[in-house]
Chain A
Amino acid sequence: MSSGEVFINTEHLTRDFRIGKDTLRAVDDVSFELGRGETFGLVGESGCGKSTLGRLLVRLYKPTSGKILYKGKSVANLNKRESFEYTKDVQMIFQQPYASLNPRMTIGEIIKEGMRIHQLGSAKEMSERVSGLLNMVGLNAEHANRFPYEFSGGMRQRAGIARALAVNPEFVVCDEPISALDVSIQAQIINLLKRLQSELNLTYLFIAHDLSTVRYISDHIGVMYLGSIVEVANAEELNINPLHPYTQALISAAPIPDPAKENERVRIMLEGDVPSPINFGAGCKFAGRCKFANDNCREEAPALRKLPSGHAIACHRMEEINMVE
């Protein structure tokens, strides 16, 4: 699928938020790259900064430092016209099927908005395109005159996808598009996104809190913890052979829908909750919950290093940990 060229990438991307006197570093020195037509899955628990990273990419937020390069060009240096073009090329699918559609507008109006903003065709052409888009996402033309509250969660999410696709984007940030949906609907949406990707040659950043779904749509997966990417690998590789203790715990924690397997397996149970990302000191951020942490881990933050296998991991003790296992 990938043509090998780097389509969008970030370099040392960092974003801070001020909370009173404190600084919350939501995204901390994140670098990753994504080829055209690829999907990069981004996984982590709430507050790990994955959504902030997505919002940085669609320019809802400005980076505190570091940069985003789109087709090799720094996004921060785009002029006004190029910035406007960027809003056509880069789109987003949102998490909340209820909050992501304006309740006062019909589905047709919602889908048309991007076309209006970017002046894509006459009124008649736009209406025709709305019908086409609705069919493409598995709804039908009759739904254009309906209001969002009349739709089920899955149908709203389809409408949100149609809105994003209306402007012919090349890169779509999918910000937890399935986490608010019912299980039987989740698979529908994943299948839809995969089909659209191959039909329209889309590039995805797919954000989720759950590894099991992401592996089906992603080529590569990055695992985030408190603003930093701790492990990146090929999707299958990451699921079969996770190397970072946090990734291991995350996979181990996911419940298996099979009572026999669920009962006999041994969980890697993490202690406590994800700590607050405010005012973090030096050292590995995971050290507080990691049973392998030593003094070195608490003093020096590990850098993301590339392994010969293609894995990238930020852990001082990776070799020792995975020898023991």
Chain B
Amino acid sequence: MIVIIEIKDLRVSFHTYFGEVQAVRGVNLKLNDNDTLAIVGESGCGKSVTALSIMRIHNMETTEFKSGKILFDGTDLFKLSEKEMQNIRGNQIGMIFQDPMTALNPSMTVGNQIAEVLLRHGRDANAKRLSSKDAKERAIELLRRVKTPSPERRANQFPYEFSGGMLQRAVIAMAMACSPKVLIADEPTTALDVTVQAQILDLIKEMQSERRVSLIIITHDLGVVANIAKNVAVMYGGLIVESGAIGDIFYRSSHPYTRGLLDSISRKNGAKNEPLRSIEGTPPDLVDPPAGCPFTDRCEYAMRVCKDHMPPESALSETHLCRCWMLDPECPLKLERRKL
């Protein structure tokens, strides 16, 4: 396995006037070549911040990278200059955003926007820069590839003339324009209608296998994860609380939070008059995060040790890591088998 992106002990904080929000508190991640890694979690858990750190597109006035490094193909991205970073963004790492409407320039035709990316980074067969005519042709080709009906006409239209699903296709075309090695998709289906979501996920999968691109998908939707991911990292309170291959997370989850997430969406079980299973309470405020496990206050299995000490990462198998005191060999308490 070739590791294409490796995040080591990443810590990111935001400075607000309430104090320092410790959005990411020591994250380690690996993305293998041709892999699909899903980072799952709820709003404010640090999943987007982690992924955006790879692109380094935060508001630099308020963001502070406290520690850690991100290796892309062996180069430390934090050591690159802004100029070198620009060459990586869009060219080697593509990005798909949650809201396609804001991801595109409203005053420029969709075709021209894709062509612009090609003009900046694209090379022809002889490694020469593309002419604007070639770029435009390739843009239309890309639109056709992402299954835009009548791409020649569509290329000359503005974003507002597109529907949400069509726009997301165009954003995917733009992200794939330079055949990047890595694609980061930040909640790519959240803003779309249910019947369109499945189309977009299928398209991403198709593009991925066709271009052999590694994918990081950030989502709160475990249904999306089940559909697309090979590996999963579950984040909570700025930490990865559990990570593993998709089966580890869905069938052998060992963290009470992962369990709770799975339970609160498994709507198959439970009669109508029974309350839905949910996780009571609210995630912790990361301005002053708890010293111990961030999930303690909401956890059915909470113990004294959880409150005061951060649980270490325990390896359950070669792929499966989990941060929970119940996995400590000395701990008498064990997680119950999941009720299915």
Contact = CB atoms under 8 A, between A and B. Distances in A.
Interface of A: 45-46, 152-155, 182-188, 190-191, 194-195, 209-210, 212-213, 215-216, 235-236, 249-250, 253-259, 261-263, 267, 269-270, 272-274, 276
B166 to A, nearest CB: 6
Given A188-B278, A274-B163, A262 B223 contact: yes
Contacts of A186: 264, 278
Contacts of A235: 272
Contacts of A153: 43
Given A191-B276, A257-B265, A273 B226 contact: no
Contact of A215 (B163, B225, B267, B280): B267
A273 B247 contact: no
Interface in B285-302: none
Closest 9 CB pairs of A and B: A255-B223, A187-B278, A182-B42, A45-B193, A184-B279, A257-B222, A273-B163, A187-B276, A187-B264
A188 B279 CA distance: 7
B307 to A, nearest CB: 20
A216 B276 contact: yes
Contacts of A273: 163-166, 193, 196
A255 B267 contact: no
A183 B276 contact: no
The prevalent SS among residues of B at the interface is helix
B195 A274 contact: yes
Given A190-B276, A194-B275, A182 B250 contact: no
Interface string B258-279: 0011101111001010011111
25 contacts: A155-B282, A183-B261, A184-B278, A184-B279, A186-B278, A187-B276, A187-B279, A188-B278, A190-B276, A191-B276, A209-B193, A210-B194, A216-B267, A235-B272, A253-B197, A255-B221, A255-B223, A257-B265, A257-B266, A259-B225, A259-B250, A262-B227, A269-B199, A270-B195, A273-B165
Interface string B195-231: 1111101100000000000000000111111110100
Contacts of B43: 153, 182
B283 interface: yes
A296 B282 CA distance: 53
A183 B220 contact: yes
B228 to A, nearest CB: 9
Contacts of A45: 193-195
A225 to B, nearest CB: 10
A46 B163 CA distance: 11
A274 B42 CA distance: 28
Contacts of A154: 282
Given A191-B278, A194-B275, A255-B221, A184 B250 contact: no
Given A187-B277, A274-B163, A255 B226 contact: yes
